[in-house]
Amino acid sequence: MTGIILDGKTLAKQLESELAKRVQQVIQQTNGKKPILATILVGDDPASATYVRMKGNACKRVGMESLRVVLPKDTTTEDLLSEIDKLNANPEVQGILLQHPVPSQIDERQCFDRISLEKDVDGVTVLGFGKMAMGESAYGSATPAGIMRLLDHYEIPIEGKHAVVIGRSPILGKPIAMMLLNANATVTICHSRTQGLSEIVHSADIVVGAVGKPEFIKGEWIKSGAVVVDAGYHPNKVGDIELSAVIDKCFAYTPVPGGVGPMTIAMLIAQTVEAAEKNA
């Protein structure tokens, strides 16, 4: 039995079609003003530049505008904070995205937390994380929010299930664990230094690979009938999980590419549209 494909690419297209209609409504309510997502790119990392361009293209597809702020790689923390302050104060800007990672001389956490909660559509601030974890209103980190939307769309049961998250980053591992917990899963958070990792993974009904290492999670660790969510993407188009070894035994899985990735951008746009609707 081949597992159900959790097709993020197709779902993202459906969401964009719905979002385009909502954007038009916002434009009508604001006398022709298009919602704006501001993206900040520091340095010349080609992968980061590609991601920013993809997000700008997504804005165009739904009828929004994107404001690109490109800063040199020798930018200081103070310089970046100043740019964020300008965007916070700009009433035309509905959402702010600081592309990760930033150059090493910058205090990334301080800059993330300078983004106002109302414009934190990528869900990167400590305050936003805390509110989300407590079940209060906040924009969730885009990738975890995309995973939850994908599981919901395919009606994957979460309540009462044992979810194992491998990875503990502040914008992926930790927030997806809190979101699953809020959805009444029993959650175990693991990482690359967890002892007995294979046994823990084998006990999971839902496995989320978010460790950032290519095929670190082996297919033999995953039990038959599990739901497999691979949030990694590496050269040679592989993720964090050895997917080729689980496709024929799992209940459902996210392909790499075409699973979690498209949902990340879709949720970023969706949360920007939501912010625009609130302001309208």
Using one digit for the tens of pLDDT, what is the confidence trace for 140-151? Answer: 999 999 999 999
Please say if 218 is a catalytic residue.
Answer: no
Catalytic pick from 7, 99, 119, 205? 99
What burial class does residue 167 get, using C-beta atoms within 10 Å of its C-beta: 0-12 exposed, 13-18 middle, 19+ buried? buried
Catalytic pick from 7, 34, 55, 240? 55
The superfamily (CATH) of domain 142-260 is: NAD(P)-binding Rossmann-like Domain (3.40.50.720)
pTM, whole model, 2 decimals?
Answer: 0.95
Please say if 55 is a catalytic residue.
Answer: yes
Residue 259: predicted pLDDT: 97
Give me the helices (H) in the chain, please. 8-29, 46-62, 77-89, 108-114, 126-133, 142-153, 173-182, 197-202, 260-279
Angle between helices 8-29 and 142-153 (to 10 degrees): 110
The predicted model gives 25-47 an average pLDDT of: 95
Cα dihedral 212, 169, 182, 157 in deg (nearest 10): 0
Confidence of residue 235 (pLDDT cuts 50, 70, 90): confident
Question: Which residues lie across from 100 on neighbouring strands?
Answer: none
What residue segments make up the domains of the chain, in order of their start?
31-116, 142-260
CB 188 within 8 A of CB 166: no
The superfamily (CATH) of domain 31-116 is: Leucine Dehydrogenase, chain A, domain 1 (3.40.50.10860)
Catalytic pick from 7, 34, 94, 122? 122
Residue 2: predicted pLDDT: 85
Please say if 152 is a catalytic residue.
Answer: no
Does this chain's domain 31-116 share its CATH topology with 142-260? Answer: yes
Instruction: For 154-181, write each residue's pLDDT tens digit.
Output: 999 999 999 999 999 999 999 999 999 9
